């Protein structure tokens, strides 16, 4: 999938934990709330979209429920923390490109 994450969100049940927040606050939220956290570099492709943010970018992983928690930055609106479902292939991709924070 090579599309805007907003289009993906229209198709899946998701939860927005923080809105219009500072990137640092979103990163701290993910690190505190997620069961497992891996970090990726800015520009890494997750769900077909390149993540932007201050490195390292944390991604919360819930393997049991196949969900991830990511910071999503909209340049004119700030950063959001979004929790959404992913398939096994995407989880494997994140584990492949991610590293311990």
- Per residue in 24-47, pLDDT (tens digit) is 999 999 999 999 999 999 999 998
Task: Note whether 58 and 30 are within 8 A (CB).
Answer: yes
Rounded-to-integer distance, Cα 51 and Cα 31, Å: 17
Give CA–CA dist 85/81, Å, rounded.
14
Separation in Å, CA 47 to CA 22, 32, 80, 92? 22, 23, 16, 12
Distance CA(94)–CA(88), nearest Å, equals 10
Cβ atoms of 40 and 68 closer than 8 Å:
no
Query: pLDDT confidence of 1, banded at 50, 70, 90?
Result: very low
Q: Considering only residues 13 and 59, tell me which one the structure prediction assigns the higher pLDDT.
A: 59
Mean pLDDT over 50-66 rounds to: 94
For residue range 61-100, list pLDDT tens digits in order.
999 999 999 998 887 888 999 999 999 999 999 999 999 9
pLDDT for the residue numbered 7: 72
Which of 93, 89, 74 is closest to 9 using CA atoms?
74
pLDDT at 54: 93
């Amino acid at each position: 999938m090579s599309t805007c994450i907003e289009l993906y969100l229209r198709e899946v049940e998701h939860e927005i934990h923080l809105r219009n927040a500072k990137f640092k606050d979103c990163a701290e939220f993910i690190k505190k709330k997620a069961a497992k956290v891996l970090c990726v570099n800015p520009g890494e492709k997750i769900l077909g979209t390149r993540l932007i943010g201050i490195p390292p970018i944390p991604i919360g992983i819930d393997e049991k429920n196949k969900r991830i928690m990511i910071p999503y930055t909209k340049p004119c609106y700030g950063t959001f923390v979004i929790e959404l479902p992913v398939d096994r292939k995407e989880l494997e991709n994140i584990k492949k490109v991610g590293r311990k924070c």
